[in-house]
Amino acid sequence: MVRRFAEMLGLFLIILLIASPDGHAQQAAAVAAPARALAPVNLGTLPAEAQTWLADLIRIDTTNPPGNELAAANYVAGVLRKESINTEVLELAPGRGVVVARLQAGALPDPSRALLLVGHLDVVGVDPTKWTVNAFSGAVKDGYIYGRGAIDDKGMVSANLAAFVALKRAGVRLNRDVIFLADADEEEAGTANIRAVIDKYWDKIACAFALNEGGRVLMTTDGKTQYVGVQASEKVAYNVTVSATGVAGHASVPRPDNAVVHLAAAIEKIAAYRPPAQPTTITRRYFERLATIEDEDTARSMRALETPQRLELAAGRLSDMSPVWSSMLRDSVTPTELHAGIRANVVPSEARATLNVRLLPSNTIEPLIAQLQKAVNDPQIRFTVAPGRGISAPSSSTESELFQTIERLVPQQFPGAIVVPFLSTSATDSAELRLRNVQALGLMPFPLTEADEQHVHGDDERLSLASFHTGVDFLYRIVYEFSAAK
């Protein structure tokens, strides 16, 4: 009786809200409506199996360059073939390969609705002297699995593999094709990257939607998930060489035109330069939603981004709070490499540094270089943009069926968390897919603290096993909800 009364009361409230003239009826009704139950799921031993796959993949050294992704692709293909899933390993260059598999909804492939699960097999290099464990051991210590690629991106590959295998084992009747792709050469964007796969084998991966890396599930230090950032756009990468020239000579005679000194001074000025804030539409929406859960002072700065007269002051405050926010708001320039000298007692005639530049999607490199030259103001300094660049692609829609599926599931998976659209500061394979009109979204499904995220591309990269298992479950629920016939 009580349950019947509650149902009638809820219906009455919804009717009143729909009839209200305040313009917020639809949103209020959605809040009043009961939440849908989580998709029925029993992954059984799959989380543990996925952990084994992750450890095995970490042990396959795919440092790029040279990559050696073919060995990892063959390993993944072996997992899929044990499940009787038709699988192809495509060799793009000697030793460099990708693996593709498909679960088909109908008699013929249908790219117009297909979902692509994509992750990359290559990893960046390591300085083994800075690691506390073997970077390619997959060691488990204090509840974490350690190894290069644990987060970026073999964790995602393993979670994608688990979701794909789970659909097959459960015999899920699909409403769309689901395609699995573990690709290569993402870290260097060379000749064996996703662009090569698209150019040569688009028919094998053609899709309308994609889930990839690039997002974040941000967890506070007390273990609470604050928000799920779904990557809908990304910055564009360039490498720029800064070189200083001078007269070579004996180090016993200091010279005012010493190339090392001029380069060091230039790097200091470059590091101090802060490009103007230019929040994109995605970034504005990110801060708009995040303001609803932040403290009032922080929220005030976030809301002030919408006021042109207050933009720079507000962006400066937010940038001081978080390096990630700073990079999301503007073009960024990071010195990463220094090269100078041949011996301790020789003044070199040249000194060079590498800058890793990340532009906002609509920006070009030339105006930024002009501003850096102005900031440095040294005729001995020259800037050279390296050949090749990242891809500037249109944003994915935050109104798509896939984005809305994630929005619907997040409050059930992570009570109290919100969903925010996200401009990733790093580049991913999603840009190439977006150029093919694919609604590609970045979703790193593992809850991570900011301290965890700092290990990506750094020393002692690691992933909490609890977070990994949560991410495997979360990703499968999204794929199931989006792809299972109802």
Digit-by-digit pLDDT tens for the chain (486 residues) are: 434 444 444 444 333 333 433 333 333 333 333 444 454 467 999 999 999 999 999 999 999 999 999 999 999 999 999 999 999 999 999 999 999 999 999 999 999 999 999 999 999 999 999 999 999 999 999 999 999 999 999 999 999 999 999 999 999 999 999 999 999 999 998 999 999 999 999 999 999 999 999 999 999 999 999 999 999 999 999 999 999 999 999 999 999 999 999 999 999 999 999 999 999 999 999 999 999 999 999 999 999 999 999 999 999 999 999 999 999 999 999 999 999 999 999 999 999 999 999 999 989 999 999 999 999 999 999 999 999 878 899 999 999 999 999 999 999 999 999 999 999 999 999 999 999 999 999 999 999 999 999 999 999 999 999 999 999 999 999 999 999 998
Asked if residue 175 and residue 127 are part of one domain, the reply reads yes
pLDDT of residue 26: 35
Q: Flag whether 30 is in a domain.
A: no
Q: Which of 361, 385, 409 is the last residue of a domain?
A: 385
**Claim to verify: residue 119 and residue 152 sit in the same structural domain:** yes
The answer to whether position 194 is within a domain reads yes
- The parent domain of residue 250 ranges over 234-279+306-385
Q: Residue 76's pLDDT is what? A: 98
Domain end residue (candidates: 350, 385, 420): 385
> Do the Cβ atoms of 419 and 226 come closer than 8 Å?
no
Q: What is the CATH number of the domain that holds 323?
A: 3.30.70.360
- Give the pLDDT score at 41: 62
Give helix then strand counts, H and E, for the chain.
Answer: 16, 19
Asked if 242 and 208 sit in the same domain, the reply is no
Tell me whether residue 468 is in a domain.
yes
In angstroms, how far is CA 453 from the centroid of its own chain?
11
CATH number for the domain that contains residue 119: 3.40.630.10
DSSP letter, residue 418: E
Tell me, yes or no, whether 182 and 80 share the same domain.
Answer: yes
pTM of the entire predicted model: 0.90
Are both 203 and 248 inside the same structural domain? Answer: no
Hey, what amino acid is at 258?
N
Q: Do 62 and 175 fall into the same domain?
A: yes
Bridge partner residues of 228 (DSSP): 217, 419
pLDDT of residue 390: 81
Query: What is the total count of domains within the chain?
Result: 2
Task: Evaluate whether residue 395 is within a structural domain.
Answer: no
| 37: Cβ contacts below 8 Å, ≥ 6 apart | 412
Residue 426 lies in a domain: no
Cβ atoms of 462 and 158 within 8 Å: the answer is no
Tokens encoding 472: 């495997």
- The verdict on residue 31 lying in a domain is no
Q: Are residues 139 and 209 in the same domain?
A: yes
Q: Does 341 lie in the same domain as 253?
A: yes
* Cα diameter, the chain: 96
**103 and 167 both lie in a single domain:** yes
Instruction: Tell me, yes or no, whether 347 lies in a domain.
Output: yes
Same domain, 275 and 129: no
Q: How far apart are alpha carbons 109 and 60 in whole angstroms?
A: 33
Residues 57 and 183 in one domain: yes
Residue ending a domain, choose from 385, 414, 436: 385
Query: What confidence score (pLDDT) does residue 24 get?
Result: 35
Helices (H), 60-182: 69-82, 154-170
- Residue 98: both structure tokens together: 């990708």
Q: How far apart are CA 133 and CA 142, in angstroms?
A: 12
Instruction: Say if CB 175 and CB 486 are below 8 A apart.
Output: yes
- Cβ neighbourhood burial of 435 (10 Å; 0-12, 13-18, 19+): middle
Angstrom distance (rounded) from CA 100 to CA 201: 10
Give me the count of residues in the chain.
486
Q: How far apart are CA 12 and CA 20, in angstroms?
A: 12
Q: Tell me: do 327 and 267 sit in the same domain.
A: yes
In a domain, 137, yes or no: yes
